[in-house]
Structures are given as C-alpha cells and as structure tokens.
A and B are shown apart, each in its own frame.
Chain A
Amino acid sequence: MMDSSVKIINEWDIVAARQLGRNVAKELGFGTVDQARITTAISELARNIYLYAGQGEIMIEKVESGTKKGMTIISRDEGPGIPDLRKVMEDGFSTSGGLGAGLPGVKRLMDEFSIESTPGKGTFIQSVKWLR
C-alpha cells in the first residue's frame, strides 16, 4: 500500500489523508520532524480542497531519482480554481479567515512545490519531500 489516494469530501477525510501520509512517511524512514512536516502539509492541502473546492483528491506516491528517495504529495480538485496564483503564494493572504499560512507554508515545509490552476476548472498541486 505504498502509492495511494484519499478522496476529500468531508472533514473526516482530512484526518484520513494525513494519517495515510504519516504512515507512508514513517514507512519510507523519514525522521519525526519530517513526518510532522509532511503530515502538516497534507493537512493544509486537504483542508484547502475541503474549504474551497468542495471535493477533490490527495494522492501520495513514493519517488526515486538517482540515489534520492522521497515522497510526492499531489492535491487535485475540480473546484473554482485560483484566479491570482501570485497572490495566494504571498505570506499572510487568506480568503477563509484562517491564519493565511496555507500554500506558502506548504511550500516551506516541502522541498519542491509546483501549482497549476485554471479558473473554473480546478487546481493541481504537486510537492515533494526528499529523504535526507
């Protein structure tokens, strides 16, 4: 059960997604700090789906590149999309009244981060954490 996904429809799915993420991170041999980073990043991404898109999916895959091993987290939804990507990547920007840590926070927690979003179509976020 290395590569797997969780559909995000209600709040409980956020918990399910981060638990899956933590288990995979543990299995891959990430330390406690990286486990916390990964779990937190998944929680943020899943919550974004739940709050803004209504529903979507979190996918977790292990990756290998040369001698490096790691874990990819993909967040995909067919929600309203993000009109101004630059703005949501600024610290302190939030439309939900949260702390606004959201996406820039996820970017800091992970090693690689990319986002594609089309208004009206949905959002696709891919991020990677490498095993040190």
Chain B
Amino acid sequence: MTNLDIIMVIVRVSISAFVPLCFLAVCVTMERRVAGFIQDRSGPNRAGICGIRAGGLVQNLADGLKLAFKEDIISEHVEHKFLYVLAPIISMAAAIISFALVPFADTLVLDGKSYVMQGIPWDTGILWFLAITGFSVYGIILAGWSSTNKYSLLGALRSASQVISYEIPMGLAVISLLIVYGSINLSDIARFQGQTWLGFIPMWGILLQPLAAVIFIVAAFAECNRTPFDLAEGESELVAGFHLEYSAMKFAVFFMGEYVAMFASSAVIVTLFFGGYNIPFFDTDFLIRNIKPVAFVLLVILPVFMFYFAKWIRRNNRSQYLRENDPRKAEATIYIRCFWILIAIIEVFLLAILAFAQPDTAAAHLLVALMQICTFLIKVTLMLFVYVWVRWTIPRFRYDQLQMLGWQKLLPLALLNIFVTGAIVVALG
C-alpha cells in the first residue's frame, strides 16, 4: 500500500462516516425551518452566539448541549439494562453503516490507479442497504421491549410489523430495477444512469422505472418511521412510542439515528432513481476531457449565483419591525462577506486549474470528483427536503390503513412491475 492508498482509504471512510453526521445539522435545521415556513411561521430565529444565528444552526448547538448535560435516567423498572443501553447504539450504528456502500463520486483515477468512491469498496451494493436497514429495526424492538412499558412495547410491535410489511414491496421494487440495471453494485447502477437516451434524456431510474420509484420511496418512508408512517412513535396514541423511557443523550442518539437513516435512505433513493452523483447530461469522461471549459463555466456561474444569494440574504435577514441600527443587518453583512471569501477561494483554485491543468490529469480528476460529490449532496438535500415536505403535509395513517397499503396495494403493484419489466426486457432482447 502506498501513502496515496492510505490517504484515499481515510478520505473515503471519513466521507462516508462523517457526512451523514454533519448532515444531521442540516436535517434538523431544515426540518424546523421548512415546518415553520409551511405553516407560515418563522422557525428557530433567536438562539445565537454574539448575534450570529447562522440561520437557525446555533439552535441545534443549544439543543445538543442541553441534551448532553441532562441527567441520563435509567428507570428502576428496566430489567435488562444492557439491552436498554444497546438499543440506541444499534439504531445509530446501523443507520451510519447503511450509507457505507453508496458511491458519492465516480471511480477516481489517480496515478493510473482507480479508487471506488464508497466507504467500503464492496460489490454487495443494494443488498447491504436492505440488510442493514432490516437490522436497524432491532434497535427499536429492543428499546420497546427492554423499557418494560406498555406504550414502548406497542410502538416496537408496530414498528416491527411495519418494517416486515414494507421490506417486501421495497425488495420487489429493487428486483425490477436490477432487471433494468443488470447489477446490484451501486457504483454500476450510478454509472448506468450517466448515459443519455436519444442524446438528451438522462437514463435515470425514475424515468425507466416510475412505478418502482413510487413503491421504493413510499417503502423507504415507512422504513425510516417518518410521517405518514410514524406509527411507532405516534404521540397521540402511544405518548412517544418506543423511545418513551429514554432521556438525555440516549434519546438524542435515537433521534440522530433517525435522521442519519433518513440521510442514508435519501442517498440510496438518489443513487437508484435520480442518477446518483451524475451531473445531468454530462458524464465523467466528458467532464474530464473538457476540464478547462467546465472550470471556466464554474468561474462565471459562481459569482453570479453568489450575487443573487447575497441579495436574498439581505432581504430575509432583517428585523421585521422598527429597530434602530438593526443588528440583523450587520449580521447579514458578516454572512455575505464569509460567503464571498469562500467563493473567492474557490475562484482562485478554478483559475489555477484554468491556467495550468491539462485534461486527464490528477487535478482534472479531483475537480470532477469534487463536483460530483457536491452534485450528490445537493440531490440528497433535495430528497431530504421531500422527506420533510411530506411530513408537514400528510397526516399519519391509521394502523390498518398502513398494513392495507403495504400488502394489498404496494405488493401486487411491485409484482406486476416485475412481470412487465421482465417481459419488456426479454422482448427487447
């Protein structure tokens, strides 16, 4: 192993382990802010350090500190204390490693060696995701059972049966996808979607398999225990469901596990149906061959984008009432300066690439990989937004409706989809 190999292993593993954790902050802020805006209220806008509120990010810090310093209670009536403590750990760990096999950029070629950009460069792909998300329900079941509490146990029961019901349509939807893609490796699947059809339509999963996409996304919502399928913690019936007895950091770990699972399943949805890391219409080879025009376009687009973004910050980051020397305007100026500095640094790098880099060199490969990581993260953020959006639009299902949807609607549809897909693939040879 050369030094480069070791660095690449560290980089890939840290991206796949820490990006989901960093996205916690994005998820929680987005959840609150989007919920607020959808309900015509403003969301968190008070907590700040020296007046810097960072669009609600400081609120997360405050909540995190609160949870970290709270007393961690294990009730007397909890008999199996080991399992009780183990449950949130399983939930969180399963959520993090389920992201390990999702590719966040195309295979990176450096010094003639190629590196698969996944946390674990392994071929099991989508099967790993199905297995690990199936495993994560153990955390919920253990939590509900070891809490020795009726509400918790009912929540865990619901969650278990829900996951069993929805794993089947999910798995069947994946089968019809695999017939189309011809591989279970997520890197292959993402590369397949980089092709275009008739020259201008990207061959994304959602266009090739719209029914499978609907089934998979619905099932993924159910797997994540998100509204409208959050019966495991339905507060109107079960108080808080499986995490009722948990407090302080153990509750926080459950909470974080839920959001990391949401990130991971968004990443898988993006990889399966929305072209993964591919920038629409531009495949990796094209970008590497034309690195100079690409760098030039970025060089022009970024400041223009930043100009309008700064305007937006100015418009929205001000006090909505009469106030002398509005401190929020000063705050907006600080944000805008920070963003302009960031843009300036990126511009310097792009200029260097424009001036010195030749096509098909390490610099070109790295720039393309970075662009693909950014594309992937933007797509995942949009998918996370869909999760939040759905949560604040649709009310919770009743339990029998949930099972009815899973077994009577999604399962036959998924089977039908497999037959139709198989017939078409056989007919087209």
Do A and B come together as binding partners?
Answer: no
Interface residues of A (CB under 8 A from B): none
